[in-house]
Amino acid sequence: MANGNGNVVRPQTTEKEDEENIFLFIPNLIGYSRVVLAIASLYYMPLHPRTCSILYSVSCLLDALDGLAARRFEQSTKFGAVLDMVTDRCTTACLLVFLGSAFPRWSIIFQGLISLDLASHYMHMYATLSMGGSGQSHKKVDESRSWVLKMYYSNNKVLFTFCALNELFFIALYLLSFSSPYLSPTLLQVNDAPSSLQPGTPAAPKPSLLNVYPWSAGAMELARANKMDSTVPWVLAVISAPIMAGKQWINVVQLVKASKWLAEGDRLERKKQGLPRRKGNAKKAL
């Protein structure tokens, strides 16, 4: 467009018109769908193992799809990376909480796994932002700092395999809490007879005779007992167990390396401040 003097006049655009809506980026929309599927799986988790497992698995598989979409459409964002990590940590923690209630004898192990997962990722993220700069991704790891983490984060196939089979192991344990009398035998006994390892036995009294509240732990244990065959869950658990163990080792390495990196930064900062002060200078400061 030209004005009366023949000069070209470009239409002015407001700042809002130039702003991109990060929240509506395709990878982030996929992230929101993961959250919805995860919440739905938690709703079905107490009593519907098949439905819960399908919803939970789809939510986990979409974790790979949002990364592909981010690279394909050039929509990688810090918000998306944090949304992805928070969703992963929360969904895994919720499943482990259920496993802790399903296998109370081993609840301390599941509590430890939750703590390790949260602590290692928080320390790694904080160390990356604090020492590497606010613009550095937590997936960018220097090989000199840790070749294990370098391989884990830089190779998408390795990252996907470890994360997928780690979740598969916990899903298999979840299914076994419904199907394997060896791992979760019926809590109820009839005429002081020991619980049978045959699925569906012994015949138990009606829940109403034992639990006034239908959502009590005992009533839910009775409703869960032996609802499906345990062959497939056992196979999945055996196949994925070594990778799950490797994932926990990586979490330990990540926690240790992040701690050392933060301590290295602390030493440099203290050196800049002239710490520790000599005894004479310290007395003068007092």
pLDDT at position 9 over 80: no
Higher pLDDT, 144 or 96: 96
Which residues make Cβ contacts (< 8 Å) with residue 235, sequence separation at least 6? none
Q: How many CA atoms lie within 13 A of 87 on its CB side?
A: 25
Which listed residue (63, 66, 84, 88) is catalytic? 88
Residue type, position 200, single letter: G
* Residue 42, domain member (yes or no): yes
If one counts the domains in the chain, the total is 1
- Let me know if 88 is a catalytic residue: yes
Share of the chain above pLDDT 90, in %: 53
List the domain range (segments joined by +) for residue 27: 20-186+213-266
Burial of residue 95 (number of CB atoms within 10 Å: 0-12, 13-18, 19+): buried
* Residue 75, domain member (yes or no): yes
Which residues make Cβ contacts (< 8 Å) with residue 53, sequence separation at least 6? 41, 171, 174, 175
Count of other CB atoms within 10 angstroms of residue 226:
17
Residue 182: pLDDT band with limits 50, 70, 90: confident
Residue 195: pLDDT band with limits 50, 70, 90: very low
CATH number of 110's domain: 1.20.120
* Residue 286, domain member (yes or no): no
Residue the block writes with tokens 């929360």:
90
pTM reported for the whole predicted model: 0.81
Residue 20 · residue 28 · CB < 8 Å? no
Closest by CA to 121, choosing from 176, 166, 157, 76, is 166
Residue the block writes with tokens 């192991």:
169
Rounded to an integer, the average pLDDT of 161-169 is: 96
pLDDT at residue number 201: 47
* Residue 204, domain member (yes or no): no
What is the C-alpha to C-alpha distance for residues 91 and 36, in angstroms, rounded to an integer? 11
pLDDT at position 172 over 90: yes
pLDDT at position 190 over 50: no
pLDDT at residue number 280: 59
Burial of residue 258 (number of CB atoms within 10 Å: 0-12, 13-18, 19+): buried
* Residue 196, domain member (yes or no): no
Closest by CA to 172, choosing from 89, 235, 102, 106, is 235
Closest by CA to 84, choosing from 70, 97, 100, 103, is 70
pLDDT at residue number 16: 55
pLDDT at residue number 27: 95
Which ranges in 11-155 belong to alpha helices (H)? 15-18, 26-44, 49-72, 78-102, 107-131, 147-154
Residue 76 · residue 70 · CB < 8 Å? yes
What is the C-alpha to C-alpha distance for residues 111 and 129, in angstroms, rounded to an integer? 27
User: Do you know the residue count of the chain?
Assistant: 286
Closest by CA to 146, choosing from 164, 161, 122, 128, is 128
pLDDT at position 32 over 80: yes
pLDDT at position 187 over 60: no
Closest by CA to 45, choosing from 213, 223, 182, 180, is 223
* Residue 240, domain member (yes or no): yes
Residue 139: pLDDT band with limits 50, 70, 90: confident
Mean pLDDT, rounded, of the chain: 83
* Residue 46, domain member (yes or no): yes
* Residue 192, domain member (yes or no): no
